[in-house]
Amino acid sequence: MQAKQSIFFFLLILLLSASCKKASSDLYTDNDPPAFSAVPAVKVRNFVNRAFIDLIGREPTDAEMEANTAAIQSGNSNMEAREALIDKLMSDTTFRDGDTSYTLAYHKRIYDLGKIRFMDGVSEAQLIQQAGIYRSNAISDSLSGNVPGYEEDMMRYNRMKDVLLSARRYMQGEITIQQQFAAMINNAIYDIINMNSFNFVNACFNDLFYRFPSNAEFQIAYSMVEDNQPGVLFNATAQNKDEYVTILTQSQECRQGIIIWSYQTILARNPVSAEIYDEMLLFGQDGDFKALQKRLLKSAEYANF
């Protein structure tokens, strides 16, 4: 009886030993991480759809969806494949029905988002109408010999024209994104939204920097705008409203505000301190807004794969 038990336990030990060896072999064999090409097609399609909406303001057509999904999958769905689509939507000048070109639609999208951010989404018709009113008033002033009135109305007309032309000028590289934003806060529409110098000073800080000015900053800025008094803000000197807008929009804090805005519009969240720090080392130095957007759009967080 004892001999049978010994044989049984010996066989059991051999069986367990073989089982453990097989489990160990299974744990380490063919355990490489899945390739990007294994990304489900539905995730790639979602990425393509989001990129079209965020960059040119519309969903892709069926043909665009199929072609761009296939292109990304053929590139193993990696960052280079994603970046190729982003570059095309930002820069491609090929004629497209409804858009004229992707790059034109992209720059109009930036322009429209800027108007939402700074000008309550004012329509093009309202801007054109307001510009026409100032132009007509300037002509009337000129004919009546009212030189101060003519100069004032022409200044207002030119500021409105700067807004209307800012999308094309930014697309052609004539102005930076910060100069486009300067046009959007230095015009009659923005003045109407933020009536009087007190509100204007606060609105500029809040819209550009996502904060209100300190008491010291406010006193200096208010004197610049209201009384044309010289003062120093962000290590630069100004003494009127135009110069005040230039100081704010050319500051590093304005670039930080653009980083925050980009995270909000692309990733639907605010950046954490470390992300702001990292981006200020890049965008804070080169001011390349498209490169900033591209870094966010091709990220794993945005693509979700």
Q: How confident is the model at residue 24 (pLDDT cuts 50, 70, 90)?
A: very low
Provide the 10 A C-beta neighbour count for residue 207.
20
Of the listed ranges 47-51, 76-80, 201-205, 267-271, the least confidently predicted one is 76-80
Burial level of 255, CB count in 10 A (0-12/13-18/19+)? buried
pLDDT digits 0-9 by tens, 158-197: 999 999 999 999 999 999 999 999 999 999 999 999 999 9
Q: How confident is the model at residue 127 (pLDDT cuts 50, 70, 90)?
A: very high
How large a percentage of the chain has pLDDT more than 90? 85
pLDDT digits 0-9 by tens, 147-162: 999 999 999 999 999 9
Domain residues of the chain, as ranges? Answer: 40-91, 254-303
Q: What is the pTM of this model?
A: 0.86
Q: Rounded distance, CA 216 to CA 212, Å?
A: 11
Q: How confident is the model at residue 259 (pLDDT cuts 50, 70, 90)?
A: very high
Q: For residue 139, give the amino acid letter.
A: I
pLDDT digits 0-9 by tens, 218-239: 999 999 999 999 999 999 999 9
Residue pair 55/90 in contact (Cβ under 8 Å)? The answer is yes
| Residue 153 tokens, joined | 């109305």
For residue 128, pLDDT over 80 is answered with yes
